[in-house]
A and B are shown apart, each in its own frame.
Chain A
């Protein structure tokens, strides 16, 4: 706690003294926000009461620049959380940029779906409900971009692996995998040792042309989501299952893919796809060690954006396909999902109504997110929204009891 207070004091001291650096002002921006959510089940409990202070410091001179983005989250039931969303340095050459430090790196053309966009891991502590800049975690990386006209080559080296941040065990978003008896977690093999050998490497070529924009990418990475190795204990006397131990463990993946977007008349067509090699899936085959099997799989998407009158519509169809499938694998061979966004503004764009929805076809579940945003004045926003989960199982249906209504007030500066 004292550590936190010291950090806050230090940061505020920087904030008030950082007005000038070598004659050029440090540009400071950010926001203060209150976020209050209430569950719509019988309990009417608050799902979240969060106060946020997010700061961005930026400065540049000649061919160098830096940015730091510290944040503070205050909760009524948890310790103050402080972190750095980003903190990096830029070196700018005529045809090349180098960025080193903690940074969010976003690839691909998909909205709200992560196919080639796998460099910055996800913060799923509040499932997929956080704002996108809060879902994507910064990674410490060295990024180099080389530009040739409207084409760009990008190389990213990540020396230290950062996994997906999963919900805490006491969170309403935490789910224990279903087993006949309550499993025990063993986290001893979860961490990936920080070493050169364990670093990640990504490469991308991108082009922006009048006809089409596209990206081609490849990566030698760690799976951000841990694989659950399942070890079963059999009681020798009864020959019955007496215990299950889950050992979360990250595995190497190789990935190659690409994305595009183009305009056809009034329509913007988008696509993204990737081939993953070495992904582990749970299997019911009792002869398989740890209850997992590695398979290659495809993950791809097609999307279209268009307008009907004043309503902006964006829809996507997404499929995941396990290759060389066998029937014992717990996942379906094909998992199909769709997203749709309807958006309309009123009162000279001061009032905005959005309806975003994920729909899973395999489990007939969905997440429906209506949202009303009002710009009370420039940089001061009021937001009323709901998160409605439908279905009984599946990625969204598992949270059927977590329907919530929420309110956000945000002051940007």
Chain B
């Protein structure tokens, strides 16, 4: 009988911490889905400044005015390039879909040609305007495209973070894996390491500033550093306005041609 009691006590002692951890436990998949589903408002407008800094420290700056709106099953985004002067009034529009099997639709308006061209969104590994961000880095990658694994927890800049390793299901994807530090209570990816096909560290994305605007956590400043080529791209959002009721017709051929 005593032996039986001892076995029960031992079993309970072993099981308790396990049960307690299992109650809190969240999977890598759930963490990434929480980041993906973090609410950022129904529409957003902002001024984007992109600074390209090469290994010698020379800086080139692009300024863009951008508008985004959620249309339910799709999200529309339009960007108007303000500087440098030779791309002034160029505009770019992207329609992305919740359906992960449907590719984005993209158009670019080139004022010198006075023509809107439909472009393929297939080249997501292309770098955006010579920056260190690929088109895919800038978009919302669907969580189902990778296998996510929670590999630890770490404190960064005073924020308690989950560390999630994501391995793409598509073996031909440009990165072999990414590791993301995600703030526990805000579902913001504070830092992300990108590994190349040889599994060497290629780039590190760092969030420099985020703020609560109109009740939503919004990332305002990021920096992508290519550690292999030693160049960096800084992105900064200013004049962010959320849920101002941007008209549906802001995302049309008419507005692409009209410009700002």
Q: A261 is contacted by which of B118, B123, B130 (Cβ under 8 Å)? A: B118
Q: How far is the CB of A347 from chain B (nearest CB, A)?
A: 8
Nearest-CB residue, chain A, relative to B122: A266
Interface of A is mostly: strand
- A132 and B112: CB pair below 8 A? yes
Nearest-CB residue, chain A, relative to B111: A133
- A262 and B127: CB pair below 8 A? no
Q: Please measure, in the bound complex, the distance between the C-alpha atom of A305 and the C-alpha atom of B52, giving whole angstroms.
A: 28
Return the CB mask of A344-373 against B: 1 if under 8 Å, else 0. Answer: 010011100000000000000000000000
- B85 and A152: CB pair below 8 A? no
Nearest-CB residue, chain A, relative to B255: A147
Chain A CB count within 10 A is highest, among B119, B249, B253, for B253
A residues near B121, Cβ cutoff 8 Å? 263
- B120 and A263: CB pair below 8 A? yes
Nearest-CB residue, chain A, relative to B58: A377
Q: Please measure, in the bound complex, the distance between the C-alpha atom of A350 and the C-alpha atom of B126, giving whole angstroms.
A: 15
- A379 and B86: CB pair below 8 A? yes
B217 interface residue per 8 A CB criterion: no
- A350 and B130: CB pair below 8 A? yes
**CB within 8 Å for A413 and B85 given contacts A263-B105, A266-B120:** yes
**CB within 8 Å for A133 and B118 given contacts A348-B127, A379-B85:** no
B39 interface residue per 8 A CB criterion: no
Q: Please measure, in the bound complex, the distance between the C-alpha atom of A38 and the C-alpha atom of B131, giving whole angstroms.
A: 36
B95 interface residue per 8 A CB criterion: yes
Q: How far is the CB of B132 from chain A (nearest CB, A)?
A: 8
Which residues from 201 to 229 on chain A have a C-beta closer than 8 Å to any C-beta of chain B? 206, 208, 210, 213
B residues near A131, Cβ cutoff 8 Å? 112
Q: Which interface class (under 10, 10 to 19, 20 to 34, 35 or more) fits B?
A: 35 or more
Return the CB mask of B72-113 against A: 1 if under 8 Å, else 0. Answer: 000000000001111010000001000000010101000011
- B85 and A412: CB pair below 8 A? yes
Q: How far is the CB of B203 from chain A (nearest CB, A)?
A: 14
B252 interface residue per 8 A CB criterion: yes
A286 interface residue per 8 A CB criterion: no
- B122 and A97: CB pair below 8 A? no
- A349 and B130: CB pair below 8 A? yes
- B61 and A348: CB pair below 8 A? no
Which residues from 370 to 390 on chain A have a C-beta closer than 8 Å to any C-beta of chain B? 377-379, 381
Which residues from 324 to 359 on chain A have a C-beta closer than 8 Å to any C-beta of chain B? 345, 348-350
- B254 and A378: CB pair below 8 A? no
- B84 and A132: CB pair below 8 A? no
B residues near A200, Cβ cutoff 8 Å? none
Q: Please measure, in the bound complex, the distance between the C-alpha atom of A105 and the C-alpha atom of B116, giving whole angstroms.
A: 13
B residues near A145, Cβ cutoff 8 Å? 254
**CB within 8 Å for A208 and B114 given contacts A29-B85, A348-B231:** no
A residues near B84, Cβ cutoff 8 Å? 378-379, 412
A165 interface residue per 8 A CB criterion: no
B residues near A150, Cβ cutoff 8 Å? 252-253
- A106 and B115: CB pair below 8 A? yes
**CB within 8 Å for A106 and B105 given contacts A348-B52, A348-B231:** no
What 5 pairs across the A-B complex have the smallest Cβ distances?
A349-B130, A266-B122, A378-B84, A348-B130, A412-B85
Give 27 pairs: A residue, B residue, CB < 8 Å, sorted on A: A29-B85, A31-B85, A97-B254, A132-B113, A147-B252, A149-B249, A210-B105, A213-B116, A261-B117, A261-B118, A263-B120, A265-B103, A266-B120, A266-B122, A267-B120, A305-B120, A306-B120, A307-B122, A307-B123, A348-B52, A348-B131, A378-B60, A378-B61, A378-B84, A379-B85, A410-B86, A412-B85
The residues of A with any CB-CB pair to B shorter than 8 Å are 29, 31, 97, 104-106, 131-133, 136, 145, 147, 149-150, 152, 206, 208, 210, 213, 261-263, 265-268, 305-307, 310, 345, 348-350, 377-379, 381, 410, 412-413
Question: A133-B114, A267-B120, A307-B122 given. 20 additional CB < 8 A pairs?
Answer: A29-B88, A104-B114, A133-B112, A136-B114, A145-B254, A147-B254, A149-B252, A152-B253, A152-B254, A261-B118, A266-B123, A305-B120, A307-B120, A310-B126, A348-B52, A348-B131, A349-B129, A377-B60, A378-B84, A412-B86
